[in-house]
Structures are given as structure tokens and as C-alpha cells.
């Protein structure tokens, strides 16, 4: 800036001159890999997958192999191209550390129909979360616009000017220092449940990004438990459920 190396904290004012270079775009075109997937349901239009914690959904910086997309391509057949070359089939995503149900599209028509269900909230997604602390109320609604964290670009936060977000929660069971919650998404913002619960003062156990550090949790204790949607071709309502994986159940069984 103004001929000198810039600092992220610099403020830009009238008359300042900023010089920059745009790096050459890196186009990721994932290839097929033989990675096993837990397929809950599959037909010519959609597939519902029980994603394990630790698996990244699609290629991204630092994750160019071993993703769910690579595994989808390894299964063969067609996948929707609406999301671009790096995201065949991907309609929505789950964080790397989150386990549970995710639906993918075999063709573009199914992709658009499922995306519309997400947009108009006819698709419902219910999560189970173990949070730190004893949540006082039996349930409630968490609202707060979510956007990029003002200082830490890899994190999200409730910020003025963010996108509207609402999460409904209900207490399933309590321990002295932990609570098991059921969370329903009314919107689908990045890290929504994690951000809203942290703002409530009860971060997801094991979520070190949002204050849920817990020595016994190797990853955020968040699981996409139930999924309800209308089949994009037939319109028939479909319901799916995936029980929490062993690490989630073990953590809750031992929680104090």
C-alpha cells in the first residue's frame, strides 16, 4: 500500500494506492478413488450417505484427495454438474468433523430440485450435539446473522450485515457439565449450529475453533441425525435416520 508492504491491520483511506497480484487460478478436477461409503439410500436421481467424521465433502485447499467427491466418482455413474467440476453431486455440505447424513444428486434436475427444497425449507435437517455446560432452558430459538469473522478469516461469527440464520434446539438429556441437544436448522449457513451454540455460551464439545475444547473429544460432537426431503422426481416424502457413531455415543456415555 502506497509503495510499502501492507499489513492486514492497515486502514485504507481516500487517495491510498493499493498494488496487488491475482494468482493464477488452480482448477481442481477430482478423479475417481475407491473409498468405501456408507450408502443409506440410492437410486437414479439421489444418494443419501452417512458421512464419517474426518471426511471432507469436496476438494479444497489442503484436501485434494480422499474426499467424499472422490469416493462418489469411484462409484461410477453420472453426478450433477450444477456445483462445478470440483463438486459433482454436492448439494449441501457437512464440516469435516461432523458425522451423519448428507444427500447428493445424480443429475442436474435433481440437484436443482433439492437446492430449492433447501431454499424454501421443505427439506429438514436435525442434528444431535453434545455441548459444554448445563443448558438452562428446555429449548428455544437462536437467531443471529452469520458472516465471516472480522479477524479470523477461517471462522464464522454472528456479525452485523451477516446472513439471517435461525437454529431451534431442544434438550434431550443433561449431565452436570454437558448437555445433549437436538438441533433443527431453519437456515443453512456455514458453521451455523457451532456458531449459534457458542454464542449461547454452550459450544459444541470438542469444537476447538469455537471454544469447545475438551480433552476427551477428538472432534466436534455434532452429528447429522435425521434428514427429511421430497424425492426430486416423484415428490414422495422420504425420511432417513443415522444413529450417532461410536465415538459420539462413547463420549456422551462418559460425559460428566
Beta carbons of 70 and 64 less than 8 angstroms apart: no
How far, in Å, CA of 188 to CA of 95, rounded? Answer: 12
Residue 2 domain flag: no
Q: Coil, strand, or helix at residue 111?
A: helix
Beta carbons of 32 and 79 less than 8 angstroms apart: no
| pTM greater than the 0.75 cutoff | yes
Rg over alpha carbons for the chain, rounded to the nearest Å, is: 20
Residue 15 domain flag: no
Residue 111 domain flag: yes
Residue 58 domain flag: yes
Residue 99 domain flag: yes
Residue 29 domain flag: no
Q: Coil, strand, or helix at residue 208?
A: helix
User: In 47-142, which ranges are continuous DSSP H helix?
Assistant: 68-75, 108-120
Residue 23 domain flag: no
Mean pLDDT taken over the chain: 94
Q: What is the pLDDT of residue 30?
A: 87
> In terms of Cα–Cα distance, which of 239, 242, 200 is closest to 222?
242
Chunked mean pLDDT (size 10), the chain, 256 residues: 87 93 71 96 98 95 91 95 91 96 98 95 96 95 93 89 95 96 94 96 96 90 98 97 97 94
Q: Domain of residue 135: give its range.
A: 39-254
Residue 206 domain flag: yes
Q: What is the pLDDT of residue 21?
A: 85
Backbone angles phi, psi at 179, to 5 degrees: -135, 140
- Say how many CA atoms lie within 13 Å of 183 toward its Cβ: 27
Collect all residues with Cβ–Cβ distance below 8 Å to 183 and sequence separation of at least 6.
126, 127, 128, 129, 167, 168, 169, 193, 197
Domain count, the chain: 1
Sign of CA dihedral 256, 219, 199, 150: positive
User: In the chain, which ranges are continuous DSSP H helix?
Assistant: 68-75, 108-120, 192-200, 246-254
Q: How many CB atoms lie within 10 A of CB 232?
A: 22
The residues with which 22 forms a beta bridge, in sequence order, are none
What CATH number is attached to the domain comprising 51?
3.30.2350.10
**Catalytic annotation on 253?**
no
Q: What is the pLDDT of residue 24?
A: 66
Q: Which of 45, 95, 214, 247 is catalytic?
A: 95
Amino acid at each position: 500500500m502506497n509503495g510499502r508492504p501492507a499489513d492486514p491491520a492497515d486502514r485504507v483511506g481516500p487517495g491510498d494506492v493499493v498494488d496487488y497480484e491475482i494468482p493464477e487460478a488452480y482448477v481442481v478436477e477430482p478423479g475417481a478413488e475407491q473409498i468405501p461409503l456408507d450408502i443409506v439410500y440410492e437410486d437414479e436421481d439421489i444418494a443419501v450417505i452417512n458421512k464419517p467424521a474426518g471426511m471432507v465433502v469436496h476438494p479444497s485447499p489442503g484436501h485434494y484427495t480422499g474426499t467424499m467427491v472422490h469416493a462418489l466418482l469411484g462409484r461410477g455413474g453420472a453426478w450433477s454438474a450444477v456445483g462445478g467440476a470440483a463438486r459433482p453431486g454436492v448439494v449441501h455440505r457437512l464440516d469435516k468433523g461432523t458425522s451423519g447424513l448428507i444427500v447428493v444428486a445424480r443429475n442436474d434436475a435433481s440437484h436443482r430440485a433439492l437446492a430449492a427444497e433447501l431454499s424454501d425449507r421443505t427439506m429438514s435437517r436435525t442434528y444431535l450435539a453434545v455441548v459444554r455446560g448445563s443448558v438452562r432452558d428446555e429449548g428455544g430459538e437462536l437467531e443471529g446473522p452469520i458472516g465471516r469473522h472480522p479477524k479470523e478469516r477461517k471462522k464464522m461469527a454472528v456479525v452485523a450485515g451477516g446472513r439471517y440464520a435461525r437454529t431451534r434446539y431442544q434438550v434431550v438429556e443433561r449431565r452436570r457439565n454437558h448437555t445433549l441437544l437436538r438441533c433443527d436448522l431453519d437456515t443453512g449457513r456455514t458453521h451455523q449450529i457451532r456458531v449459534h451454540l457458542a454464542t449461547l455460551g454452550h459450544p459444541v464439545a470438542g469444537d476447538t475453533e469455537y471454544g469447545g475444547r475438551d480433552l476427551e473429544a477428538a472432534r466436534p460432537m455434532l452429528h447429522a441425525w435425521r434428514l427429511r426431503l421430497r424425492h426430486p422426481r416423484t415428490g414422495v416424502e422420504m425420511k432417513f435416520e443415522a444413529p450417532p457413531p461410536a465415538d459420539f455415543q462413547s463420549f456422551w456415555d462418559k460425559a460428566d
